[in-house]
Structure 1
Amino acid sequence: MAKNLTSEPSLGLHERALLAGLDLLDARQAQVPALVEVATELNIPICDLGRLFPNEEALYCAAAENALLHLMDICTRSVVQVDPQDPFAQFHSLGEAYLKWAHEHPRQFRLLSERRVIDILTQPQLRRYVDALHELMTRMLMRARDDGQLHPREDIQALAITARSFAFGLARLIVDRRMEEWYPGADPLEAARHALSDFIRRMARSTTPPS
């Protein structure tokens, strides 16, 4: 796939290099491709690629940041379409946007979730995006609690971590093509959406004080 990108006029070398790196990484899985291999895949001199990325870490950091920017954009556009007075609905929309992104961009999902390539939590320029998403989740849950949709003494941080872990697990099942084990015959993304909706309904019901 990456070799076809070398003749794509709409893509610059920077973007083609990121895509080629992801292609090689997806094909290898057990080994992080060297920068010279990416240059070979693109059919360009290593010095040309080296002017953009001094090493493999720089290339995959750039690919990770590109993936996170795309994820943030998808999540933001999804949330703003929901009633701002319904934080729980916004929270649900955020989760669905994340699953959709993972389904459509499995290579980027693997890059962000597998520390053998790059640990995004130790890279400040990447960590900020993760923290921003977590803060967004937390604010939504705090508003839901303040609006009476959650128990007034609900542990918001613990709830956010639980929800985030559940969504990550669903995304992992989609990317690893294992959703069939849990929902035989169902479309993987639709099955994940169904599971997410059920989880959020149960979360709201179990944490709402009795009337």
Structure 2
Amino acid sequence: MAMTIDKKLGADFGNMKGDDMSNRRQGLAGVGLHGRTIATLLDVLESSQTTLPQIEDLSEILGVSAQDLRKIFPDEHSVLVAAAEQALVRLMDACVKAVVKVDPQDSVAQFLALGEAYIEWADMHRAQFRLLSDDRMLNLLNVPSLRRYATSLDELMGRMLERARDAGHLAEDENIRLMVLSSRSFAYGLARMVVDQRMSEWYPDTPQVEAAKIALHDFVRRIARGSTRKPN
């Protein structure tokens, strides 16, 4: 049975608030049902946090029949996968654009650019970040079409660190795989603090994203300094 929107989701989705929601709605002019469904799903998740809407709920909000919506999305899971893939495509695009602007010979600067792009993406796409972070909703590692994006980012980080090692910025015996995990975990934590508005606890007079970048640069400098190859 479909949820009754007013009672179960506890919000009037015709009057949802928030920068993410407003930005998504402003960009929906001329967008087809596929894109509007993804945007509506993100709005619902942002408002309800943990309540997954059914196809019937989404169709009611969109003003279309559930039958027509199921022609595009057979079930709720398929909408989640589509929303996650859209978010990951945008993340990859942002990361690639940031990295190619940096001197390819400067692997440390590229690594920083990658981290900054991730934090900026999380700040601009908070609902998507939360969706990808909540495996109760969707475990992207269990969806091959989504897992490849996460794998690609890990591989990109690994190649950058290998180049940094080869350039003498890291020790020859550095555990690159473990360093990827440490760096990814740290960047995720910073992004989470930005999304949850927690950076102000540490830098009350600095914008959230800028504060996160300060911490990111400090982290990378410490890694590079602590792992620098010792002279013979």
State the distance in 1 between where 2:180 and 2:98 align: 19
> Which residue number corresponds to residue 19 of structure 2?
none
2:217 and 2:103 mapped to 1: Cα distance? 17
Which residue, out of 179, 182, 194, partners 2:199? 179
Mapped to 2, the partners of 1:30 and 1:97 lie a distance apart of 27
- Deviation track 1:110-167 (CA, whole Å, cap 9, x = no partner) reads 0111111110010000000000000000000011101111111100000110000000
Counterparts of residues 1-211 of structure 1 (less than 5 Å): 3=14, 5=25, 8-211=28-231
Q: 1:161 to 1:41 in 2, by over 3 A?
A: same
Amino acid at match of 1:178: R
1-side partners of 2:71 and 2:83: how far apart? 16
Deviations 1:61-82 (A, max 9, x none): 0000000000000000000000
TM-score (norm 1): 0.96
Distance in 1 separating the partners of 2:49 and 2:114: 29
Amino acid at match of 1:183: Y
Matched length? 211
The Cα of 1:103 is off from its aligned counterpart by: 0.6
Query: Aligned partners of 2:13 and 2:158: how far apart in 1?
Result: 39
TM-score by length of 2: 0.87
Contact 1:2 1:19 in 2 (8 A): no
Unaligned runs of 5+ residues in structure 1 are: none
Alignment correspondent of 2:3? none
- Given residue 166 of structure 2, which amino acid in structure 1 is its aligned partner? D
Instruction: Kindly indicate whether the alpha-carbon contact (under 8 Å) linking 2:140 and 2:146 is maintained by their aligned counterparts in 1.
Output: yes
Partner AA of 2:32 in structure 1: G
Q: Please state whether the residue corresponding to 2:137 is helix, strand or coil.
A: coil
* Counterpart amino acid of residue 188 in structure 2: F
Q: Could you tell me how far 1:7 is from its partner in structure 2?
A: 11
2: CA distance, partners of 1:159 / 1:133: 14
Task: Report if aligned partners of 2:171, 2:230 keep a CA contact under 8 Å in 1.
Answer: no
Contact 1:6-1:42 at 8 Å conserved across structures: no
Secondary structure of the 2:59 match is: helix
Residue type at the aligned position of 1:163: S
What CA distance in whole angstroms lies between the structure 1 residues aligned with 2:105 and 2:184?
22
Segments of 5+ residues of structure 2 without an aligned counterpart are: 1-11, 16-24
User: Hey, what's the Cα distance between the residues in 1 that align with 2:29 and 2:106?
Assistant: 44
Q: Distance in 2 between matches of 1:137 and 1:81?
A: 16
Contact (CA 8 Å) 2:170, 2:229: kept in 1 or not?
yes
The 1-side partners of 2:28 and 2:195 are apart by 27
